[in-house]
Structure 1
């Protein structure tokens, strides 16, 4: 079934690229609308072929509530001119809210995780916007059960929801054949979460200081960046371990697997998450994963099976778990195989993207 899809997102990141490409590869006509444009540009690959980038009043600057009426009116104009069969929009309180206000239907509202696990709690206005949007959305999708359950709490009809992990390319993210024979001199931790408060990298920094003082052969790789850069470096500097940390910066998707292969354990100290794609990438690369015990992570990591859980926000407990992982190094290859199996069972983007296509078809049939 051919469809004309209007895909509405904050900017253009790796996740947007994968959705746009899957929609286009599925034979559908795709119109890509950005709310904030290059303000959130973190994807080096060009927009996929056969995707039409739409020029409108948005996409030039960060979203401001004072511009809501103007943006909504212009978005309504887009829907009249493009005449899409459906709109795929998210996050909830920005893109999906504007789509709902435009009066168009059907709308597939997609949670990005942080919108339901963090943004909804900002104040009463954000909570009201969340309820308003979900109650008026035709259908809802998210990548974790915890976000789906939150959506239902805020008014989404539970019978009009679908959950599927966004997944990864299992051929691109795969284990290194000689991984465990290469990493013998040092024990390397790896984290590529953004340096923002919600992702808890400062917790990891404090834990690394504590653990590194007890093990001289341990080092760490931190990728990405963010507003906590100065704070993180200060923690590491004061702890005397700054020289044992490699700062890799922003890494392209093409080169990213090589960085996973340098590590012995992947760590995600996030306080807020849906099904983390970086966690799925680590699992696919066959890495044992040490993650905070938030609900979304518990959907992926089973203690002593494919990794371990630590108490969210507890740097001391994380340090203990790091040292415990080092002490059982001989078991890490087995745990890594379990990680890869977890990814193969649930994180195959090729399979999971088909769930999205089926959701589109179902929406069209319902409509």
Structure 2
């Protein structure tokens, strides 16, 4: 099978998926929508993946570039002749792929696109609905199978969970850490600020700011005596969220129960 993997940029998520695809018998082609000027992932494209040159992938994609990119994407599809297109996030790469009319299209959500971008405006909502209606399948980013029991032990043994992500939706590992009562130190990207406010169950530092990250770790170390109290607060919040999920209306539940328990 010939697979065209079309993503917004090149991130650790993309490297993980491309590395897995490179181990299959399929012929995989990689198409990058834009280059936002930052190295999100330092590892090279996995061996065996063919990078496709096209009109995009050189700079940040703007709305005014849409028609030019759409026309060249159609050209790429004619040249590559993929059996399947795997594209995401929903309102960017997947939306552009949906506009070409190609099928089958597998749309990929990074989490943030559905939790935040879909609500940015009426236009973003329409783009989301159009893409999902024209997708043969819809998948979400998820980790490979892990030992849940051991993972919970690791979380509980840690004094602090640290995440320096540049881009993420609702991080599964963040929610797992909170469900296990572990205080957190997070980059201040929108997906993290959805769940954590400064000083309640952890701390935030400037995304991409190594000095701020270092000083925040030192601050947490100096305030280590406060961590057990944070743990108790987190456990109380987790129990409250589980009750709301079990007995309340699902649409009002923001925090889902952990498979690990507390």
Which residue number in structure 1 is paired with residue 54 of structure 2? 56
Question: What secondary structure, in the 3-state scheme, does the structure 2 residue paired with 1:207 have?
Answer: coil
Q: 2:217 & 2:95 partners in 1: Cα distance?
A: 43
Greater relative contact order structure (CA < 8 Å, 6+ sep): 1
Deviation at 1:176, TM superposition (A): 11
Counting only pairs closer than 5 Å after superposition, residues 57-206 of structure 1 correspond to structure 2 as 57-143=55-141, 166-168=142-144, 170=146, 188-192=159-163, 193-200=186-193, 203-206=196-199
Deviation at 1:225, TM superposition (A): 4.4
Which residue number in structure 2 is paired with residue 298 of structure 1? 256
Structure 1's 169 and 61: CA in aligned 2 closer, same or farther, altered over 3 A? farther
Which residue number in structure 1 is paired with residue 3 of structure 2? 5
Q: Is the 8 A contact 1:92 1:110 kept in 2?
A: yes
TM-score between the two structures when normalised by the length of structure 1: 0.50
Question: What secondary structure, in the 3-state scheme, does the structure 1 residue paired with 2:200 have?
Answer: helix
Which residue number in structure 2 is paired with residue 32 of structure 1? 30
Deviation at 1:242, TM superposition (A): 8.0
Deviations 1:288-323 (A, max 9, x none): 9x8795857415x16xx534xxxxxxxxxxxxxxxx
- The answer for unaligned runs of 5 or more in structure 2 is 164-185, 222-226, 242-251
Q: How many residues align?
A: 214
- The answer for unaligned runs of 5 or more in structure 1 is 144-165, 210-219, 247-262, 268-287, 308-367
Q: Is the 8 A contact 2:7 2:31 kept in 1?
A: yes
Question: What secondary structure, in the 3-state scheme, does the structure 2 residue paired with 1:47 have?
Answer: coil
Q: 2:255 & 2:36 partners in 1: Cα distance?
A: 30
Deviations 1:19-62 (A, max 9, x none): 11111211111111111235453222211110011111111222
**What is the CA RMSD across the aligned residues, in angstroms?**
3.8
Counting only pairs closer than 5 Å after superposition, residues 204-353 of structure 1 correspond to structure 2 as 204-207=197-200, 225-226=206-207, 243-245=218-220, 293=241, 295=253, 297-298=255-256, 301=258, 306-307=261-262
